[in-house]
Amino acid sequence: MKLRRAPIESLEVDDLVFAVRWSRRRRTIGISVAREGGLRVLAPVGVPARKLESAVRAKLPWVHRKLAEFESLGPPPPRPRFVDGERLPYLGRTFRLALVDAAERPNAPVALRRGRFEMARDLDGEARAAFVRWYTERARARLGARVARYAPLVGATPAGVVVRDLGVRRWGVCDGRTRVVSFHWELVLQPPAIVDYVVVHELAHLLEPNHGPRFWRRVAAVMPDWKRRRGALSGGGHRHTI
Ligand SMILES: [Zn+2]
């Protein structure tokens, strides 16, 4: 009788070690690189190890590129503390936070008023969540308006605009099947010119799914200075978070 070998939990390819996550639902082999450097292989149950290895090998140039990219970003910026006087970003600027008595902010715990953020004093552990809600609401309003402005110029109207958390690597995403464009709520921490670039980029994807020359021609037709804007977006210092 042959012993069945337990599925492997990690895979070493050259000098890199990948954690292997087996999934019953997956049909294809996936590879991911986290900003902190974590490497993962997502594998359908039953795929032999040598097949995993050859899939990883084929993607090694991409993995190295990603690792270099994250390296150049440096460590993620420190999270702000929600204390009096802390500076918090919005549309490329920063505004000081003033803690106010809860009675002054009965309806919404966070507001931007008279050039400063106001937050109810007693939020404690809820402060970040309250700010995320505030940014998400602002992002919905702003991105809705900017999509409405740029859609006729690009020549593509999405079926819907969604604002949500897209993780640490994406600012926007376009679903070619549903024709819904989604944006990260953190986009409203960026300057308006950058927000608009991401809007035009995702709208152009409704017409051209890939980043080929035709895609960039469409972006350039609406936004001739797209390269400068994109450069500012990928430049490390601009990835604010809260
Ligand atoms: Zn794209």
What's the gap in Å between 170 CA and the centre of ligand 1? 9
Q: CA 211, CA 229: separation in Å to the nearest integer?
A: 16
What's the gap in Å between 221 CA and the centre of ligand 1? 16
What's the gap in Å between 167 CA and the centre of ligand 1? 16
What pLDDT, on a 0 to 100 scale, did the predictor assign at position 239?
A: 47
Per-residue pLDDT averaged across 135-157, rounded?
98
Q: Is there a contact between 118 and 105 (Cβ–Cβ < 8 Å)?
A: yes
Q: Are 64 and 112 in a shared domain?
A: no
Residue 81 CB-density burial (10 A; 0-12 exposed, 13-18 middle, 19+ buried):
exposed
Q: Are 108 and 198 in a shared domain?
A: no
Q: Are 149 and 209 in a shared domain?
A: yes
Q: Are 187 and 121 in a shared domain?
A: no
Q: Are 226 and 156 in a shared domain?
A: yes
Would you give the DSSP letter of residue 161?
E
Query: How many domains, in total, are found in the chain?
Result: 3
Across the beta sheet with 172-175, the strand order is: 160-164, 180-184, 172-175
Read off the pLDDT band of 119 (50, 70, 90).
Answer: very high
What's the gap in Å between 115 CA and the centre of ligand 1? 34
* Structural domain contains residue 158: yes
Read off the pLDDT band of 76 (50, 70, 90).
Answer: low
* Structural domain contains residue 2: no
Q: Are 67 and 120 in a shared domain?
A: no
* Structural domain contains residue 81: no
What's the gap in Å between 128 CA and the centre of ligand 1? 29
Name the phi and psi angles at 14, rounded to 5: 50, -125
What pLDDT, on a 0 to 100 scale, did the predictor assign at position 111?
A: 95
Q: Are 206 and 234 in a shared domain?
A: yes
What's the gap in Å between 217 CA and the centre of ligand 1? 13
Q: CA 37, CA 15: separation in Å to the nearest integer?
A: 13
Q: Are 143 and 122 in a shared domain?
A: no
Q: Are 150 and 201 in a shared domain?
A: yes
Per-residue pLDDT averaged across 48-57, rounded?
92
Q: CA 193, CA 230: separation in Å to the nearest integer?
A: 10
* Structural domain contains residue 1: no
Per-residue pLDDT averaged across 16-21, rounded?
88
What's the gap in Å between 46 CA and the centre of ligand 1? 33
Q: Is there a contact between 206 and 179 (Cβ–Cβ < 8 Å)?
A: yes
Domain span at residue 122? Answer: 87-131
Residue 122 CB-density burial (10 A; 0-12 exposed, 13-18 middle, 19+ buried):
exposed
What's the gap in Å between 17 CA and the centre of ligand 1? 29
What's the gap in Å between 168 CA and the centre of ligand 1? 15
What's the gap in Å between 200 CA and the centre of ligand 1? 10
What's the gap in Å between 39 CA and the centre of ligand 1? 23
* Structural domain contains residue 109: yes
Q: Are 157 and 127 in a shared domain?
A: no
Domain CATH code at residue 220: 3.30.2010.10
What's the gap in Å between 209 CA and the centre of ligand 1? 8
* Structural domain contains residue 3: no
CA–CA distances in Å: residue 2 to residues 5, 42, 54, 240: 9, 27, 26, 55
Strand partners, 234: none
What pLDDT, on a 0 to 100 scale, did the predictor assign at position 235?
A: 47
Q: Are 147 and 234 in a shared domain?
A: yes
Read off the pLDDT band of 116 (50, 70, 90).
Answer: very high
Read off the pLDDT band of 1 (50, 70, 90).
Answer: low
* Structural domain contains residue 80: no
Mean per-residue pLDDT over the chain, rounded:
88
- Would you say the pTM of this structure is higher than 0.75? no
Q: Are 148 and 122 in a shared domain?
A: no
Per-residue pLDDT averaged across 175-200, rounded?
94
What's the gap in Å between 174 CA and the centre of ligand 1? 8
What pLDDT, on a 0 to 100 scale, did the predictor assign at position 33?
A: 87
* Structural domain contains residue 218: yes
Radius of gyration for the chain, computed over Cα atoms and rounded to the nearest angstrom: 22
Would you give the DSSP letter of residue 172?
E
More confident residue, 103 or 142: 142
What's the gap in Å between 239 CA and the centre of ligand 1? 17
What's the gap in Å between 211 CA and the centre of ligand 1? 6
What's the gap in Å between 146 CA and the centre of ligand 1? 17
